[in-house]
Amino acid sequence: MSFKGKVAIVTGSSSGIGEAAALQMARGGAKVVINYSKSEDDARRVEATAKEAGAEVICVQADVSDDTECRKLAQAALDAWGRIDILVNNAGRTKFANHADLDALEADDFLDIYKLNAVGPYQMIRACLPTMKKQGTGAVVNISSIAGLKGIGSSIAYAASKGALNNMTTSLARALAPEVRVNAVCPGFVATPWFRKTFGDEMFNSILERVSATVPLKKAGTPESVAEAICFLASDASAFVTGETLLVDAGLHLDPMATNR
């Protein structure tokens, strides 16, 4: 997929889905801002890989839950290349809590998760909007989750934050047209390094086997498979698409018994 002449910011792109999306765009000719909050070593590794592919990239530390940091990140792209064509809002967080255990979450948990998962994307879009409007074109892809549509996933706070992000995608697609397109990708389970690190090899492999056996397509998602959908919505191939919430979940949403997986 060609991104020649495009400038892309991918938040949370030091690993997982963000890394895969940033590298696919870089290999397609985009100039890419690699963003990280804490994992500089991982971000530098992604930067080096993109440069090996011949791409122009910069690596920028920024916590996108902070509005000042969002503006810094957008300005870094402008300082380097003078434009912003694509924004992928990938950075996010969660807290694991059984949905039936209402004592497992406090108000601060909701606020912490919302601040990055919903407010962060809003702030990043706002920071990039003047440039996109001036250019007359721009594409935003919000990385949401099936949790935001089905009320499943790691916790109620996480599911609620992604539901908010989906609703915001629709609202902003309407408000920012015709210059800026806003879409969302909603993955199901994705076999990322974060999941392996969080659960350990044995539990990770067990989850992977269970998901692969359950979903209609009989395979779990990978960062690269989700990145393909992201790149489609970010590219000119989807120039007639806005306000879309695209499920990328191997058919998990077709299962009426889908629960907290």
Residue type at position 32: V
CB under 8 Å to 232, separation ≥6 — which residues?
1, 238
158 tagged catalytic: yes
CB 34 within 8 A of CB 10: yes
* DSSP for residue 243: S
Angstrom distance (rounded) from CA 73 to CA 247: 28
In the Cβ-directed half-sphere of 50, how many Cα atoms lie within 13 Å? 31
Strands (E), 83-170: 86-89, 138-143
Angstrom distance (rounded) from CA 231 to CA 1: 8
CB 87 within 8 A of CB 77: no
CB under 8 Å to 114, separation ≥6 — which residues?
157, 160, 161, 164
| DSSP-based three-state secondary structure for 11 | coil
| DSSP-based three-state secondary structure for 87 | strand
The span from the first CA to the last CA of the chain, in angstroms, equals 32
Position of tokens 């122009």?
56
How far from the centroid of its chain's Cα atoms is residue 126's Cα?
A: 17
Backbone angles phi, psi at 244, to 5 degrees: -90, 140
Query: Of 36, 114, 122, 158, which residue is the catalytic one?
Result: 158
Q: What residues are annotated to the active site?
A: 158
